[in-house]
Amino acid sequence: MKIVHFSWEYPPVIYGGLGTFATEISKKQVELDHDVTVFTLNRENALPTSDQINGVDVYRPKTLDMSNRFTSARTMSSAHGGRILNFLLMS
């Protein structure tokens, strides 16, 4: 069986119970001869985007920091009477 898990924690980044649970259940599913894939976060894009850990395919897509773009749009918008921000919010 093909199984996919989505978890914001997966080795080598584990902060609490969810990461531990995702790790243990994935290992057990591989032992039962299932194809297991995990999609998880790539904090600060510091880890490889794909990996295999204990027979589990792990994907950590790179993330974009959109906060600066919104701040820039808001700054530009205030300089243009709010027109740019209104356009972005209406899109």
Give the pLDDT score at 14. 87
User: Domain locations in the chain?
Assistant: 2-59, 64-91
Kindly list the distances between the CA atom of residue 9 and the CA atoms of 36, 58, 60, 77, 83, in Å, as whole numbers in the listed order. 16, 11, 10, 37, 40
Q: How confident is the prediction along the chain (91 residues), in pLDDT tens digits per residue?
A: 999 999 999 999 888 899 999 999 999 999 999 999 999 999 889 999 999 999 999 999 998 766 665 555 555 545 555 554 454 455 4
Query: 20-49 in b/e burial notation, b at 16+ Cβ within 10 A?
Result: eebbeebeebbeeeeebebebbeeeeebee
Please give the mean pLDDT across all residues of the chain: 82
Give the pLDDT score at 48. 94
pTM over 0.85: no
